Amino acid sequence: MSVTHKSCRLIATILNKNCRSVNKSVFNRNRHVDISKEIYLQSRSIYTSTLLFKNISFKLSDIGEGIREVAVKEWFVKVGDKVSQFDNICEVQSDKASVTITSRYDGVITKLHYAIDETALVGKPLVDIETDSGDDTESSSDDEKVEKKTEEKIVKSVQQTSPSSYKKDICIPSVRRLAKEHSVDLSLINGSGKDGRILKEDVLNFLKSPELKADAAPSVPVHTPKTVQADRTVPVKGFQKAMVKTMTESLKIPDFVYSDEVAVTKLAQLRQAVKEECLKSGVKISYMPFFIKAASNGLLKYPVLNASVDSNCENITYKSSHNIGIAMDTKVGLAVPVIKNVQDLSVIEIAKELNRLMISGKEGTFSASDLTGGTFAISNIGVIGGTYTKPVILPPQVAIIALGTSRVLPRFDADMKVIPEEIICVSGAADHRVVDGVSMASFINLLKKQIENPYLLFLNL
Ligand code: CAO
């Protein structure tokens, strides 16, 4: 505001009446300057000394979020401006939010402590305001009194995504402090202030709420009695009875277990290629028929694995047929139905027979013939899961293999390049009284070779 000399003189006259020490130079007629502010400030300072005007350092209060310093982005006031409570003072920017600081006092700005882009520290003076009441420092009681009426308006919040942190922003520091003291999660409170702002009363009401009391009550573990069913004793019978006998006998066998990884990547591709065609012929084809065929081919070369021993282990009988038992999870439990004469069957014929046995397993309609006469066994527990397994020999047989679950893993190819391979871990157990480790290892190697190069399965080499 620019004033004329006439108005300056008028002010000076008034001031002179109140104080004789006004600097007369300001009334120099030859000066055409904007002196209103200067006059006003001088007059205020003189007036203050006589009429109890107080210069208050308005400190930057805690913004929360652990913010200790902010950059001053914009001043909305300048020295000499008259401000009232709630008037915008400045906008500050932290690394988390932009906040508009508003005045807590009615008065006149006498000093801005920072220039634009300077760093203002929490707890340090931001502006000085001359008021006609109060102390010249901010006391905590003042703080609370004024904060109750005053807001720091949040204009925009950046990098704030969670509702919880958003809510922290929509209340003044003293409310945040109160919430913190009582470990209250502000995100649980619906603010009753303007724009959903959380007020001190909201926190106090929340603290009184019955739900909170229930929550705050020391958590005593509540013992809820559970209905315990009575123990049940049932006779072991049927397939389980057979299992008792077989497994007990099996554990008497000193076995040798050999495991290796088998890459089924090519087999998976082959299966995928023929799957639809097989289905058209009513045959569901899985990995199993290929493994069964590969095992049979291996047995041709290592017939000691397709043999049986008598109970005293005095005689070995080399079996002419490859009757391969398939451990199967059936309606009635574990059963090992047998695919007979696999050496004479093609992969698709094996698949057909497996399909039939699986249906019988589901329906519980195995014939006696289906369940007898096995000379070797395969267990595909990988259908259920598990990478490795140790199969259990079914005496009087002398060998069994088991498949783990297939997994795609990084492996090196012939050029030492890392490639994804679908791997199944195959383990073979053999009766070490009559089968040596080399036979079992060689058998697994041959099986591996065929599975990893599935065209070999069709050459009957
Ligand atoms: N890893 C991952 N997936 C496998 C797998 C393996 N090792 N073997 C089979 N699968 C897949 C099949 O490819 C098939 O997938 P699609 O539905 O996409 O074709 C799916 O699992 C179901 O296979 P399946 O069970 O229908 O057929 P299968 O010929 O592979 O297995 C059988 C038949 C009877 C071995 C199996 O059903 C079974 O009962 N396994 C349990 C064996 C068992 O109980 N062993 C424990 C003995 S000791 O207690």
Instruction: Look at residue 417 in the predicted model and tell me its pLDDT.
Output: 97
Cα 394 to middle of ligand 1, angstroms: 20
Task: Confirm whether 436 is a catalytic residue.
Answer: yes
Beta carbons of 78 and 126 less than 8 angstroms apart: no
- What pLDDT sits at residue 134? 52
Distance set, CA 298 to CA 89, 103, 129, 449 (Å) = 89, 91, 97, 10
pLDDT score for 117: 85
Q: Determine whether the shortest distance from the Cβ of 381 to ligand 1 is under 6 A.
A: yes
Residue-level pLDDT at 28: 38
Confirm or reject: Cβ of 380 under 6 Å from ligand 1. yes
Provide the residue-wise pLDDT of the chain in tens; the chain has 461 residues.
Answer: 343 444 434 443 333 333 333 333 333 333 333 434 443 444 444 333 344 678 889 988 887 667 788 888 889 999 999 998 888 898 887 766 667 788 888 899 999 999 998 888 888 999 999 987 654 445 444 444 444 444 444 434 333 334 444 555 566 777 777 887 888 888 788 888 777 778 888 888 888 886 665 555 555 666 777 778 899 999 998 888 888 999 999 999 999 999 999 999 999 999 999 999 999 999 999 999 999 999 999 999 999 999 999 988 999 999 999 999 999 999 888 999 999 999 999 999 999 999 999 999 999 999 999 999 999 999 999 999 999 999 999 999 999 999 999 999 999 999 999 999 999 999 999 999 999 999 999 999 999 999 999 999 988 66
Residue nearest to atom 20 of ligand 1 (CA): 383
Q: From the alpha carbon of 378, which atom of ligand 1 is closest?
A: 35
H-helix segments, 19-84:
36-51
The residue among 131, 28, 123 whose CA lies nearest residue 70 is: 123
- Alpha carbon nearest to ligand 1 atom 35, residue: 380
Helix locations, 281-313, DSSP H: 288-301
- Determine whether the shortest distance from the Cβ of 290 to ligand 1 is under 6 A: no
Ligand 1, atom 32: closest residue by C-alpha: 328
Q: Quick one: pLDDT at residue 32?
A: 39
Ligand 1 touching residue 250 (CB < 6 A):
no
Is the Cβ–Cβ distance between 290 and 347 less than 8 Å?
yes
Q: Indicate whether residue 327 lines ligand 1 (CB < 6 A).
A: yes
- Per-residue model confidence (pLDDT) at position 392: 96
Please tell me the predicted confidence (pLDDT) of residue 23: 36
Q: Which two tokens stand for residue 352?
A: 């057909």
- pTM, two decimals, is 0.58
What integer pLDDT is reported at residue 445 of this predicted model? 98
* Calpha distance 1→36 (Å, rounded): 7
**Ligand 1 pocket member 306 (CB < 6 A):** no
Residue 24 C-alpha to ligand 1 middle, in angstroms?
A: 105
When computed from its CA atoms, the radius of gyration of the chain, rounded to whole angstroms, is 45
Record the tokens describing residue 235, joined without a space: 């006779």
Distance (angstroms) between ligand 1 centre and the Cα of 403 equals 9
- Which helix (H) or strand (E) is 70 found in, with range? strand 69-75
Q: Report pLDDT for 136.
A: 47
Alpha helix stretches (DSSP H) within 316-414: 347-363
Q: What per-residue confidence (pLDDT) applies to 425?
A: 98
Q: Is 223 a catalytic residue?
A: no
* Residue 426, beta-bridge partner list: 260, 403
- Give 446's contacts (C-beta < 8 A, 6+ positions apart): 294, 297, 298, 301, 302
